[in-house]
Amino acid sequence: MISENKLAGEVDDPIVADALRHFKSSVDYWSEAAYSQPRTARLGTQLKWRMAASWALGCLLAAASVAGTLYEHHAGREAARIAAIKAAEQKAARQQKVAERPVTATVVPGQPVVVVKAGAKEDENLLATVDSDVSRQVPAAMEPLAQLMDTGGAN
C-alpha cells in the first residue's frame, strides 16, 4: 500500500518491498544478459537477397534496353522496306501511264522526224522557247540597240 506522500519506490509493507526489489534485480540481470549476448546478424542474409534482387533487376533492365533497341532498328528497316515498295509501285504506275499515252509524229521536210507524246506538247513549246532564248546573241531587252548598231555600222 503506497501512500501518496511517499515516493513510488518506498513501500510500507516489507514483504512487498522485498518482492519488488527481487523483481527489479531479476529484470536488471535479464537485461544485462540479453544485451551482452552475441547476436547473429540477419543483415547478411537480407543483404544477399537485396544484392541478388538488384542484380536481377539490373540484368532485366539491360535486356529490355537491348530488346527495345533491336525492335526500333527492325521497325525502321520495315518502314524503309515498305516505303521502297510504295515508291517502286508509284514509279511503275507512272511509267505505265506514260506508256499508255498515244504517240504522234511531226514530219517537217528537211528536218529529222520528231516523235511527240500527247501530253508533252507543252513541254515541247517550253523547250523551243528556251532554245530560242539561249540561241540569241543579245538579250531581248537589248535587241533594239543591237539593231541600231547593225544599221549604224553600215552608214
Tell me the pLDDT tens digit for each residue of 73-89.
Answer: 999 999 999 999 999 99
For 11-56, write each residue's pLDDT tens digit: 788 899 899 999 999 999 999 998 888 877 666 667 788 889 999 9
State residue 134's pLDDT score. Answer: 75
Report long-range pairs for 134-142 (Cβ below 8 Å, ≥24 apart): none
Residues 70 and 81: beta-carbon distance below 8 Å: no
Whether pLDDT at 101 is above 80: no
Name 8's Cβ contacts closer than 8 Å, sequence gap at least 6. 2
CA–CA distance, 43 with 51 (Å, rounded to integer):
12
- Sign of torsion, CA 11 12 16 21? positive
In 3D, which of 96, 100, 116, 99 has the Cα closest to residue 108? 116
